[in-house]
Chains A and B, each alone.
Chain A
Amino acid sequence: MHEGSTMKRSLQIIREIIRKEFYQIRQDRRMMMVSIMAPILQVIFLGYAATTDIKYSNMVVCDNDKSVESRALIQRFTNSHYFILRYDVNLPDDVDAYIDGAKASVALIIPSGFGEKILQRRTTPVQMVFDGADANTASILLGYATQIVAAYSQSVLLDTPLMMQKGKPARILPEPRVWYNPDLKSQDFMVPGVVALVLMIITMTLTSLGIVKEKEIGTLEQLLVTPIRPFELLIGKLVPFVIIGAIDMSIVLAIARYWFEVPLLGSLPLLFGLSGLFILTTLGLGLFISTIAKSQQQAMLIAQFFFFMPFMFLSGFAFPIANMPKIIQAFTFVIPLRYFLEIVRGIFLKGAGLHELWPQATALAGIGIVIFSLSVLRFRKTLE
């Protein structure tokens, strides 16, 4: 009987706090706008931006031969989707300015006498300059350029009268087939990542700053003299953030699925369930920040430098974890975003189920429990 009445009392208090929080959030129109609109805009814009597809790189050409043969070679480049002929120059040295100024990523230099040598069946040089400042793009373009030139060489060889008479040798043609992501659109890979990133930022920021703000203003102390107990306060404060987080989550997942048409091969309930788990860990992290920061500015710096940036770089969002040194790979195991990325990409692109994803789910839950208990302990200490 007594037990029951304390619990009822607790629930009432929690409900009151939640009502007060929501009232405050509603009052702050801008805050509402930002926490709902910002994730939508961010996912839409950045979903398009985050592409590692190398398409239509600007090419500057110096064709000193201007023969049928040289034009045929250039055409092989422009037919390939990877290169787009942007600039034409007359002197080989003139290409420097385009590469230096980052106006073009590659330069193709065909010397005079190219066509003649091709017809006379002699070796002719062709130079190509790659802007190595963007190492990633340069290495992909280098691969395709080499392939294009090799194919051209081969077609010249197969054209000799000797071959015509005696029969051509076989051509070995690469036939790439991409699994899970047939168009090799990095968008399908990146959009789920952007979704995860935006979700993390919004939930962590709302929680951490929301609580530090009350500390700064001193209203948290006022609550202390009331009969409200710390855990009631905590639940009351967190529930609204959980709700906003869930709304944001549904919106951004819907954008990924219906706006970007990222195929969802796996189960939707599983996706929602595990996303919810992820949001709980980010709320926990936000709470944790709020217990160590003395001011909102500090909370921001901590969130930014200790969480957002390392998470962005080390979670496998853009950089493959497999390429990192072992020590840093070990460090990535404490990053919740890492697991969530594997979960989101797995469910969306590979149709992975709990059977494949239980290690990630367990890790997320583990991190969530640890960080929550730690923050609750610290939170109570701050209050007492």
Chain B
Amino acid sequence: MYRLLRPIIIKEFRQIRRDPTSLGMLLVLPTALIIFVGYALNFDVKHVPLVIFDQSKTAESRELLEKFKRTDLFDYKFDVQGYEEIEQLFLHRQATIAVVVPKAYADDVLAGRDVRIQLLVDGSDGNTGGQAVANASRITAEYSTRLAVDAIARMGGRSYIPIDFQPRVWYNPDLLSRQFLVPGLIGFILVLTAVISTSMTVVREKERGTMEQIMVSPLRPIQVIMGKTLPYLLISLLGATAILILGYVLFDIHVRGSLIVLYGGILLIVLGALGQGLLVSTVTDSQQVAFLISVFSSLLPSFLLSGFIFPVSSMPLVLQLLSNLAVNKFFLVVVRGVMLKGVGIDVVWPQFVYMGIFAALMLGISTRRMQKRAA
């Protein structure tokens, strides 16, 4: 078996070597990307620019607004006298959220009447807007509770807070988005390089007519497939290792769980992605089409559909079902689980099973299609 495989592996490697630019890109670019992403990307929505429109201008309103000025969630930037000014600031993206205190605020508070505080948000960036609203509402609600506590004390009652809320954020207490994105990036890059590099190999041979030559050789389709995938598997494993080391050195992201489980997951996802790439290349006749299909079947789905950035649970049901086709979704659970949470195979085995089935299906179908071609 190996004797037969060797020549085709050697040939594939030789082809890779003959094009050092491509090899360099396959190895260097993923690592460059991780540095970029690690430093550049940030969902952390602290220091959201805040504008205040205080119509009450009383000690009471200042006490409330102090809460907004005193947090690093918001950067208090402007004091305005009207809604038009807020709109101008929003349009020029100088402010994202505005707190508007009504004129009768102090009178209402002193009289014990409920008051509504307007929180105006520039919603054109749904994400930042959503976070800003959640945080501002929370500050207001906490302040309101505080008022009730103080009121009891003033009335001579025993002052206490009914619920001592103890939120704990596991795995990533500072809520750094880097901790969330870098492990995800491993899967993203692995899938892309694997799908793209293999999707081209077979089509290239078809375009040049060398595929027929391989077909008349004594090689069986399965051997051709293996010969075509093994070199890229190796490249992918090297790339993944580089990312892990960089993540540790630059961003202090440790692998809390077992490396063996992690590499097991990497192996499965790469096999699946290589199979997907081969499948693309067996159904297309030109590299152009192969590239388009692989971009649209791997780049965009792994970016948008897999939970890499956007939570799958918030998607419509149909899309949640469809997201199962983005094999990266399962790898993400594994890589985040093992790296951040330190979980073992007892937790992530369902994902392993799925990735295994995916890889077997993809490689199996490509082999079948190859056989048909040979026959």
Q: Which residues of A line the B interface, CB within 8 A?
A: 28, 30-31, 34-35, 38, 41-42, 45-46, 48-58, 73, 97, 99-102, 105, 118, 121-140, 142-147, 149-154, 156-158, 160, 162-163, 166-182, 184-190, 194, 197-198, 201-202, 205-206, 209-210, 213, 294-298, 300-302, 304-306, 308-310, 312-314, 318-320, 323-325, 328, 345, 349-350, 352, 356
**Is the Cβ of B151 less than 8 Å from the Cβ of A122?**
no
Given the known A-B contacts A35-B292, A209-B288, are A123 and B162 also in contact in the complex, defined by CB atoms under 8 Å? yes
Q: Which residues of A contact B26 (CB under 8 A)?
A: 301
Q: Which of B33, B140, B204, B314 contacts A53 (CB 8 A)?
A: B314
Residue of A nearest to B113 (CB): A170
Q: Which residues of B contact A130 (CB under 8 A)?
A: 167-170
Q: What are 19 A-B pairs with beta-carbon distances under 8 A?
A: A35-B292, A45-B322, A46-B304, A54-B314, A135-B175, A136-B177, A151-B144, A156-B163, A172-B115, A175-B118, A178-B121, A185-B126, A188-B126, A189-B123, A190-B126, A304-B299, A305-B33, A320-B43, A324-B42
B287 in the interface (beta carbon within 8 A): yes
Given the known A-B contacts A163-B155, A176-B137, are A184 and B40 also in contact in the complex, defined by CB atoms under 8 Å? no
Q: Which residues of A contact B40 (CB under 8 A)?
A: 313-314, 319, 324-325, 328
Residue of B nearest to A356 (CB): B91
Interface size on B, residues (CB 8 A): 127
Chain B contacts with A in 44-80, Cβ cutoff 8 A: 44-45, 64
B284 in the interface (beta carbon within 8 A): yes
B158 in the interface (beta carbon within 8 A): yes
A146 to B146, CA, bound (A): 13
**Is the Cβ of B115 less than 8 Å from the Cβ of A313?**
no
Residue of A nearest to B110 (CB): A170
Task: Give the number of residue pairs across the A-B interface with Cβ within 8 Å.
Answer: 431
**Is the Cβ of A30 less than 8 Å from the Cβ of B285?**
yes
A42 to B295, CA, bound (A): 11
Given the known A-B contacts A179-B120, A312-B303, are A320 and B145 also in contact in the complex, defined by CB atoms under 8 Å? no
Cβ of B325 to closest chain A Cβ, rounded Å? 10
**Is the Cβ of A350 less than 8 Å from the Cβ of B124?**
yes
- Please give 15 more A-B residue pairs, beta carbons under 8 A apart, in addition to A138-B172, A313-B37: A52-B311, A105-B313, A121-B162, A123-B163, A143-B131, A143-B135, A147-B141, A162-B152, A173-B117, A176-B133, A178-B120, A181-B124, A320-B42, A320-B125, A324-B41
Q: Which residues of A contact B21 (CB under 8 A)?
A: 294, 298
A134 to B25, CA, bound (A): 30
**Is the Cβ of A323 less than 8 Å from the Cβ of B43?**
yes
B289 in the interface (beta carbon within 8 A): yes
Q: Which of B123, B167, B319 contacts A146 (CB 8 A)?
A: B167
Residue of A nearest to B23 (CB): A301
Q: Which of A144, A205, A319 contacts B42 (CB 8 A)?
A: A319
**Is the Cβ of B287 less than 8 Å from the Cβ of A34?**
no
Interface centre among A30, A133, A202, A294 (most CB of B within 10 A): A133
Interface centre among B118, B121, B127, B341 (most CB of A within 10 A): B127
**Is the Cβ of A133 less than 8 Å from the Cβ of B145?**
no
Q: Which residues of B contact A308 (CB under 8 A)?
A: 295, 299
Q: Which residues of A contact B287 (CB under 8 A)?
A: 209, 213, 296-297, 300
Cβ of B177 to closest chain A Cβ, rounded Å? 5
Q: Is the interface of B mostly helix, strand, loop or mixed?
A: helix
**Is the Cβ of B33 less than 8 Å from the Cβ of A181?**
no
Residue of A nearest to B344 (CB): A100
Leading 5 A-B pairs by shortest Cβ distance: A186-B126, A143-B134, A132-B172, A181-B123, A178-B123
Interface centre among B21, B26, B30, B285 (most CB of A within 10 A): B21
**Is the Cβ of A174 less than 8 Å from the Cβ of B161?**
no
Q: Which of A56, A169, A173, A319 contacts B41 (CB 8 A)?
A: A319
Interface centre among A122, A179, A298 (most CB of B within 10 A): A179
**Is the Cβ of A54 less than 8 Å from the Cβ of B170?**
no
Given the known A-B contacts A31-B286, A209-B291, are A139 and B123 also in contact in the complex, defined by CB atoms under 8 Å? no
Q: Which residues of A contact B25 (CB under 8 A)?
A: 298, 301-302, 305
**Is the Cβ of A125 less than 8 Å from the Cβ of B164?**
yes
A173 to B323, CA, bound (A): 39
Residue of A nearest to B148 (CB): A157
Binary interface profile of B, 78-98, with partner A (CB < 8 Å = 1, else 0)? Answer: 000000000100110000000
Cβ of B293 to closest chain A Cβ, rounded Å? 6
Cβ of B110 to closest chain A Cβ, rounded Å? 8
Q: Which residues of B contact A320 (CB under 8 A)?
A: 42-43, 45, 125, 127-128
Chain B contacts with A in 227-247, Cβ cutoff 8 A: none
**Is the Cβ of B141 less than 8 Å from the Cβ of A186?**
no
A139 to B109, CA, bound (A): 30
B348 in the interface (beta carbon within 8 A): yes
Q: Which of A31, A157, A186, A324 contacts B127 (CB 8 A)?
A: A186
Cβ of A121 to closest chain B Cβ, rounded Å? 7
Residue of B nearest to A171 (CB): B114
Q: Which residues of B contact A51 (CB under 8 A)?
A: 126, 310, 314-315
**Is the Cβ of B141 less than 8 Å from the Cβ of A151?**
yes
